[in-house]
Amino acid sequence: MREPACKVPVPPIVKGGWRRCRLDEQSEREFLEFVAARTHVLFRMAYALTGHQQSAEDLLQSALATCALRWRQINGHPEPYVRKVMYHEQVSWWRRRRRYTELSMAQVPDRMVAHDPSHDAALKLTLHRALARLGARQRAVLVLRYLEDLSEGEVARIMGCSESTVGSQASRALARLRQLAPELRELLTAEEVTG
Protein backbone atom coordinates (compact mmCIF):
# COMPACT_ATOMS: atom_id res chain seq x y z
CA MET A 1 0.00 0.00 0.00
CA ARG A 2 1.62 3.23 -1.15
CA GLU A 3 1.44 6.37 0.94
CA PRO A 4 -0.78 8.80 -0.95
CA ALA A 5 0.35 12.22 -2.00
CA CYS A 6 -0.62 15.04 0.31
CA LYS A 7 -3.46 17.11 -1.12
CA VAL A 8 -4.28 19.10 2.00
CA PRO A 9 -6.07 22.30 1.12
CA VAL A 10 -4.87 25.40 2.91
CA PRO A 11 -7.02 25.85 6.02
CA PRO A 12 -9.90 28.30 5.52
CA ILE A 13 -8.39 30.54 8.15
CA VAL A 14 -5.35 30.95 5.88
CA LYS A 15 -7.45 31.92 2.85
CA GLY A 16 -8.64 35.19 4.32
CA GLY A 17 -10.10 34.79 7.79
CA TRP A 18 -7.07 36.39 9.43
CA ARG A 19 -9.10 39.21 10.91
CA ARG A 20 -10.63 36.69 13.30
CA CYS A 21 -7.13 35.55 14.32
CA ARG A 22 -5.75 39.07 14.62
CA LEU A 23 -2.32 37.99 13.36
CA ASP A 24 0.14 40.62 12.34
CA GLU A 25 1.92 40.37 9.01
CA GLN A 26 5.02 38.73 10.47
CA SER A 27 3.02 36.05 12.31
CA GLU A 28 0.96 35.39 9.20
CA ARG A 29 4.13 35.03 7.12
CA GLU A 30 5.71 32.71 9.71
CA PHE A 31 2.60 30.53 9.80
CA LEU A 32 2.37 30.29 6.01
CA GLU A 33 6.08 29.44 5.77
CA PHE A 34 5.64 26.74 8.42
CA VAL A 35 2.64 25.28 6.58
CA ALA A 36 4.53 25.27 3.27
CA ALA A 37 7.64 23.69 4.78
CA ARG A 38 6.13 21.07 7.11
CA THR A 39 2.78 20.01 5.61
CA HIS A 40 4.20 16.91 3.92
CA VAL A 41 5.83 15.65 7.13
CA LEU A 42 2.75 16.39 9.23
CA PHE A 43 0.53 14.72 6.62
CA ARG A 44 2.58 11.55 6.97
CA MET A 45 1.82 11.46 10.68
CA ALA A 46 -1.86 12.24 10.09
CA TYR A 47 -2.07 9.44 7.52
CA ALA A 48 -0.47 7.00 9.94
CA LEU A 49 -2.90 7.99 12.69
CA THR A 50 -6.03 7.77 10.53
CA GLY A 51 -5.15 5.16 7.91
CA HIS A 52 -7.08 7.01 5.20
CA GLN A 53 -6.03 9.86 2.94
CA GLN A 54 -9.21 11.93 3.24
CA SER A 55 -9.33 11.55 7.02
CA ALA A 56 -5.64 12.50 7.23
CA GLU A 57 -6.28 15.62 5.15
CA ASP A 58 -9.20 16.57 7.42
CA LEU A 59 -7.14 15.93 10.56
CA LEU A 60 -4.19 18.01 9.33
CA GLN A 61 -6.40 20.84 8.12
CA SER A 62 -8.24 20.94 11.43
CA ALA A 63 -4.99 20.94 13.41
CA LEU A 64 -3.48 23.71 11.27
CA ALA A 65 -6.63 25.82 11.62
CA THR A 66 -6.51 25.37 15.40
CA CYS A 67 -2.84 26.31 15.48
CA ALA A 68 -3.42 29.35 13.27
CA LEU A 69 -5.81 30.72 15.90
CA ARG A 70 -3.11 30.31 18.57
CA TRP A 71 -0.05 31.03 16.44
CA ARG A 72 1.22 33.97 18.50
CA GLN A 73 1.08 31.92 21.71
CA ILE A 74 3.17 29.09 20.20
CA ASN A 75 6.74 29.87 21.18
CA GLY A 76 9.83 28.45 19.54
CA HIS A 77 9.25 25.27 17.60
CA PRO A 78 5.61 24.91 16.49
CA GLU A 79 5.85 21.37 15.08
CA PRO A 80 5.61 19.51 18.42
CA TYR A 81 2.58 21.64 19.29
CA VAL A 82 0.91 20.84 15.95
CA ARG A 83 1.66 17.12 16.46
CA LYS A 84 0.07 17.24 19.90
CA VAL A 85 -3.01 19.00 18.51
CA MET A 86 -3.27 16.35 15.78
CA TYR A 87 -2.99 13.52 18.30
CA HIS A 88 -5.66 15.01 20.57
CA GLU A 89 -7.97 15.72 17.62
CA GLN A 90 -7.61 12.13 16.45
CA VAL A 91 -8.33 10.75 19.92
CA SER A 92 -11.47 12.91 20.03
CA TRP A 93 -12.54 11.52 16.65
CA TRP A 94 -11.87 7.96 17.84
CA ARG A 95 -13.99 8.55 20.91
CA ARG A 96 -16.84 9.98 18.84
CA ARG A 97 -16.82 7.06 16.40
CA ARG A 98 -16.15 4.09 18.59
CA ARG A 99 -16.18 2.00 15.50
CA TYR A 100 -15.06 3.04 12.04
CA THR A 101 -17.30 1.20 9.61
CA GLU A 102 -16.91 2.75 6.19
CA LEU A 103 -15.13 5.43 4.26
CA SER A 104 -17.30 7.18 1.73
CA MET A 105 -15.77 8.72 -1.38
CA ALA A 106 -17.22 10.54 -4.35
CA GLN A 107 -15.10 8.41 -6.66
CA VAL A 108 -12.55 5.67 -6.28
CA PRO A 109 -9.04 7.20 -6.15
CA ASP A 110 -6.63 6.31 -8.92
CA ARG A 111 -3.58 4.45 -7.76
CA MET A 112 -0.24 4.77 -9.49
CA VAL A 113 1.23 1.39 -10.28
CA ALA A 114 4.76 1.21 -8.95
CA HIS A 115 7.21 -1.62 -8.62
CA ASP A 116 5.94 -3.30 -5.48
CA PRO A 117 6.50 -7.04 -5.11
CA SER A 118 3.40 -8.88 -3.99
CA HIS A 119 5.10 -10.03 -0.82
CA ASP A 120 5.74 -6.41 0.23
CA ALA A 121 2.20 -5.39 -0.70
CA ALA A 122 0.76 -8.28 1.32
CA LEU A 123 2.90 -7.34 4.33
CA LYS A 124 1.77 -3.71 4.10
CA LEU A 125 -1.88 -4.74 3.97
CA THR A 126 -1.40 -7.11 6.88
CA LEU A 127 0.33 -4.39 8.89
CA HIS A 128 -2.42 -1.90 8.05
CA ARG A 129 -5.14 -4.33 9.17
CA ALA A 130 -3.25 -5.23 12.35
CA LEU A 131 -2.66 -1.57 13.24
CA ALA A 132 -6.36 -0.85 12.73
CA ARG A 133 -7.17 -3.50 15.36
CA LEU A 134 -4.96 -1.90 18.03
CA GLY A 135 -6.36 0.53 20.55
CA ALA A 136 -6.05 4.26 19.92
CA ARG A 137 -3.21 4.83 22.42
CA GLN A 138 -1.20 1.82 21.29
CA ARG A 139 -1.52 2.78 17.65
CA ALA A 140 -0.55 6.38 18.42
CA VAL A 141 2.51 5.24 20.40
CA LEU A 142 3.70 3.05 17.51
CA VAL A 143 3.12 5.80 14.95
CA LEU A 144 4.89 8.48 16.98
CA ARG A 145 7.69 6.25 18.27
CA TYR A 146 8.61 4.21 15.20
CA LEU A 147 7.15 5.92 12.13
CA GLU A 148 7.88 9.48 13.25
CA ASP A 149 11.05 8.29 15.04
CA LEU A 150 10.41 10.38 18.15
CA SER A 151 12.05 9.62 21.49
CA GLU A 152 10.01 8.21 24.35
CA GLY A 153 10.22 11.61 26.06
CA GLU A 154 8.82 13.42 23.02
CA VAL A 155 6.01 10.88 22.64
CA ALA A 156 5.22 11.21 26.37
CA ARG A 157 4.94 15.00 26.04
CA ILE A 158 2.66 14.73 23.00
CA MET A 159 0.41 12.13 24.62
CA GLY A 160 0.45 13.70 28.07
CA CYS A 161 1.77 10.64 29.91
CA SER A 162 5.00 9.35 31.44
CA GLU A 163 7.91 7.85 29.51
CA SER A 164 7.38 4.52 31.23
CA THR A 165 3.78 4.49 29.97
CA VAL A 166 5.06 5.07 26.43
CA GLY A 167 7.52 2.19 26.80
CA SER A 168 4.93 -0.21 28.19
CA GLN A 169 2.33 0.79 25.57
CA ALA A 170 4.89 0.26 22.79
CA SER A 171 5.88 -3.12 24.20
CA ARG A 172 2.27 -4.25 24.52
CA ALA A 173 1.40 -2.93 21.05
CA LEU A 174 4.29 -4.79 19.43
CA ALA A 175 3.33 -7.98 21.29
CA ARG A 176 -0.27 -7.54 20.12
CA LEU A 177 0.92 -7.02 16.52
CA ARG A 178 2.91 -10.26 16.75
CA GLN A 179 -0.24 -12.00 17.97
CA LEU A 180 -2.55 -10.47 15.35
CA ALA A 181 -0.20 -11.00 12.43
CA PRO A 182 2.52 -13.61 12.98
CA GLU A 183 3.69 -13.08 9.38
CA LEU A 184 4.97 -9.65 10.47
CA ARG A 185 7.53 -11.24 12.79
CA GLU A 186 10.32 -10.45 10.34
CA LEU A 187 9.39 -6.74 10.52
CA LEU A 188 9.15 -6.71 14.30
CA THR A 189 12.59 -8.01 15.18
CA ALA A 190 14.36 -6.22 18.00
CA GLU A 191 17.17 -5.04 15.71
CA GLU A 192 14.80 -3.22 13.33
CA VAL A 193 12.63 -1.71 16.06
CA THR A 194 15.49 -0.42 18.20
CA GLY A 195 18.08 0.31 15.56
Domain topology for 18-96 = Rna Polymerase Sigma Factor; Chain: A (1.10.1740)
pTM, entire model: 0.52
User: Sorting pLDDT into bands at 50, 70 and 90, what band is 184?
Assistant: confident
Tell which CATH architecture fits domain 118-194: Orthogonal Bundle (1.10)
- pLDDT score at 13: 44
- pLDDT score at 86: 92
Helix residue spans in the chain (DSSP H): 18-21, 25-50, 53-69, 78-96, 118-132, 136-142, 152-159, 163-180, 190-194
Instruction: Tell me which of 15-24, 100-109, 124-133, 144-153 is least confident.
Output: 15-24
Tell me which amino acid residue 44 is.
R
Query: What is the pLDDT averaged over residues 63-72?
Result: 88
Question: CB neighbours (10 Å) of residue 88?
Answer: 15
- Comparing CA positions, the residue from 144, 139, 169, 168 lying closest to residue 157 is 144
- Residue span(s) of the chain under CATH 1.10.1740 come to 18-96
